[in-house]
């Protein structure tokens, strides 16, 4: 009784089906390459570095400002004075340098807007951490999805090749049976049509594999080598805790997108206070020191030399009370209040999205465990049914078309099983992403199941 090759059965579970697979790249290596090369994560890393500079920039509004201004000039002054016809005229010529410098210092004593800006910057830096953390979790999911997309595409090719070999054998057998007169031309035509269909399918699945490899290459920056597969005996496990409500609660509180939206809301709330502070007076401590030197020679009918050295100093407080700004402050307050409502609605949307992701991922994990078990049994049943149809064909109670159809069912069930494994892994990662707990340890855990 003919059965499918052993490598096809192994491939149905995503197991290594080729020699030398131990030397291939595993999920952890691909993830490390992505950490170093993925442009999306690199952009998030640079954005986080830029966000951290908001804190010292805002702090500068609370610290003194010191400036030095210097100047050096050379002046020439000419004047002619006409007195009367008898005395004639008198000429005045002056040439002298003029040097000076001033030092100015200002220390804010009360600027409520600056204090609120400083508090906003703390929130923005914290938000930047959440954005970068979200980008890291997103990378884990993208890498795993691209990795298993390639494995699934490779497995599809192997199934197609295995099915092609089986149909080719069936076609040859149908031709031999027709030649000796124990089968009709219909059997040969059915097998030929099935073979031609598989040849066309083989081209399509090869193209799909090329696309999946290209997608992975776009993340890691180079073409991947042979990828390691799931070890034999891998059994999906139910989530811990195996209850939906704890996952939803954690998603609503700890999901990174929720944290980002919460930070946006807090920043918008502070923005309302900052704009209202535009009505408040400001008080600064100011100090100023000036020194100028002026000297040179004056030429008239008489000549004279002169020099002047001046120093002045000032220290005091400066009060600025806004009285009327043309409605600018009130308009900005109304704008900030409207933006606060936008942030409130975005926060609610983020919470609902996190809840939905937790629900769908939890359902995907729990149903995935049951689906894998059911499909494992379905593969065995499909194989038994195929063997029975094969035997029925030999004794004349089944047609060649029955065998071909059952053969197709075997391969489709094996593909569904492999996809069920793939979906379970991705849903498990997304469940932790929804709860905000997805980390490198999860990549390492999955990687231990590869060989």
Cross-strand bridge partners of residue 284: 108, 318
Contacts of 144 (CB under 8 A, 6+ apart): 27, 425, 426, 429, 443, 446
| pLDDT recorded at residue 299 | 52
Domain containing 120 — which CATH number?
A: 1.20.1600.10
For residue 393, give Cα distances in angstroms to 4, 177, 313, 388, 397.
Answer: 17, 11, 112, 9, 6
H or E element that contains 290? strand 282-299
Residue 301 in any domain: the answer is no
**Residues with pLDDT less than 70, the chain:** 1-23, 82, 84-92, 182-183, 231-233, 296-306, 400, 451
pLDDT in tens, 73-103: 887 777 777 676 666 666 667 777 888 999 9
H helix intervals, 92-184: 112-179
Q: Number of folded domains in the chain?
A: 1
Residue 288 in any domain: the answer is no
**Nearest residue to 252 via CA among 439, 437, 435, 438:** 435
| pLDDT recorded at residue 332 | 96
Interaxial angle between packed helices 400-435 and 112-179, expressed in degrees from 0 to 180 and rounded to the nearest 10: 170
| pLDDT recorded at residue 201 | 85
Residue 360 in any domain: the answer is yes
Residue 150 in any domain: the answer is yes
Sheet with 88-110, side-by-side order of all strands = 65-84, 88-110, 282-299, 303-320
Residue 379 in any domain: the answer is yes
Residue 318 in any domain: the answer is no
Residue 320 in any domain: the answer is no
H helix intervals, 221-311: 244-254, 256-276
Task: Tell me, rounded to whole angstroms, the distance of Cα 410 from its chain centroid.
Answer: 40
Give me the domain span that covers residue 31: 6-65+111-282+325-447
Residue 382 in any domain: the answer is yes
| Six token digits for residue 401 | 């078309």
């Amino acid at each position: 009784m003919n059965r499918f090759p052993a490598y096809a059965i192994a491939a149905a579970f995503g197991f290594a089906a080729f020699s030398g697979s131990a030397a291939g790249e595993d999920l952890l290596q691909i993830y490390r390459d992505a950490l170093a090369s993925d442009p999306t994560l690199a952009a998030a890393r640079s954005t986080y570095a830029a966000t951290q500079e908001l804190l010292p920039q805002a702090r500068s509004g609370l610290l003194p400002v010191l400036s030095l201004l210097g100047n050096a000039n050379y002046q020439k002054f000419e004047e002619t004075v006409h007195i009367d016809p008898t005395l004639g005229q008198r000429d005045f010529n002056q040439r002298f340098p003029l040097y000076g410098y001033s030092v100015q210092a200002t220390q804010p004593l009360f600027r409520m807007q600056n204090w609120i800006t400083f508090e906003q910057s703390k929130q923005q830096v914290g938000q930047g951490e959440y954005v970068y953390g979200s980008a890291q979790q997103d990378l884990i999911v993208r890498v795993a999805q691209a990795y298993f997309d390639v494995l699934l595409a490779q497995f599809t090719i192997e199934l197609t090749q295995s099915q092609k070999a089986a149909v080719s054998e069936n076609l040859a057998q149908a031709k031999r049976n027709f030649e000796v007169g124990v089968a009709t031309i219909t059997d040969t035509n059915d097998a030929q049509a099935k073979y031609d269909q598989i040849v066309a399918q083989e081209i399509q699945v090869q193209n799909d594999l090329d696309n999946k490899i290209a997608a992975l290459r776009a993340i890691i920056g180079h073409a991947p080598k042979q990828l390691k597969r799931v070890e034999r005996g891998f059994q999906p496990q139910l989530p811990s805790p195996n209850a939906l409500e704890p996952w939803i609660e954690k998603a609503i509180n700890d999901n990174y997108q929720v944290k980002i939206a919460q930070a946006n809301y807090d920043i918008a709330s502070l923005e309302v206070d900052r704009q209202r502070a535009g009505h408040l007076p400001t008080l600064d401590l100011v100090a100023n020191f000036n020194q100028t030197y002026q000297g040179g020679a004056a030429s008239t009918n008489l000549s004279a030399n002169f020099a002047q050295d001046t120093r002045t100093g000032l220290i005091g407080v400066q009060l600025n009370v806004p009285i009327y700004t043309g409605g600018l402050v009130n308009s900005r307050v109304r704008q900030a209040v409207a933006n606060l409502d936008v942030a409130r609605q975005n926060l609610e949307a983020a919470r609902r999205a996190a809840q939905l992701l937790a629900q769908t991922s939890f359902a995907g994990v729990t149903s995935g465990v049951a689906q894998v078990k059911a499909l494992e049994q379905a593969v065995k049943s499909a194989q038994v049914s195929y063997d029975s149809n094969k035997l029925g064909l030999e004794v004349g109670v089944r047609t060649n078309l029955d065998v071909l159809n059952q053969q197709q069912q075997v391969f489709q069930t094996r593909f569904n099983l492999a996809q069920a494994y793939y979906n379970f892994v991705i849903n498990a990662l997304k469940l932790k992403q929804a709860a905000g707990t997805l980390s490198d340890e999860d990549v390492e855990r999955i990687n231990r199941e590869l060989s």
